[in-house]
Amino acid sequence: MIRSMIRSMSALAALGALAAFVCLPVGAGAADPALDAPVADAAKAFEEKTGLTDFGLLMMRDEEILYRRFFGGYTETTAVPIASATKWITGATVMTLVDAGRIDLDSPVKTWLPELPSPHGDLTLRQLLSYTAGFPSLAERIDLKQDRTISLLEAAIALKDVALVDEPGTAYAYGGPNFQIAGAVVERVSGQRWADYFDEVLGDP
Rounded to whole angstroms, what are the CA distances from 122 to 3, 113, 182, 194?
Answer: 30, 10, 13, 22
- Beta strand residue intervals within 31-167, DSSP E: 55-61, 64-71
Residues 6 or more apart whose Cβ sits within 8 Å of residue 121: 108, 109, 110, 113, 114
* Side chain identity at residue 114, one-letter code: P
Length of the chain: 205
What does the alpha-carbon distance between residue 145 and residue 16 come to, in Å, rounded to a whole number? 28
The torsion angles phi and psi of 136, rounded to 5 degrees, stand at -60, 155
CA distance linking residue 169 with residue 181, whole number of Å: 16
Compute mean pLDDT per 10 residues along the chain, 205 residues long, and list them. 36 42 40 77 87 86 87 89 84 96 97 95 96 82 62 89 92 88 96 95 87
* pLDDT, position 202: 92
In this structure, are residues 23 and 47 in contact, taking their beta carbons and an 8 Å threshold? no
Task: Give the pLDDT score at 139.
Answer: 61
Position 6 scores a pLDDT of: 34
> What pLDDT shows up at residue 145?
53
Q: What is the per-residue pLDDT for 113?
A: 97
Paired with 57 in beta bridges are 69
All domains of the chain, ordered by start, with CATH?
2-71 (no CATH), 83-203 (3.40.710.10)
Phi, psi (degrees; rounded to nearest 5) at 130:
-105, 10
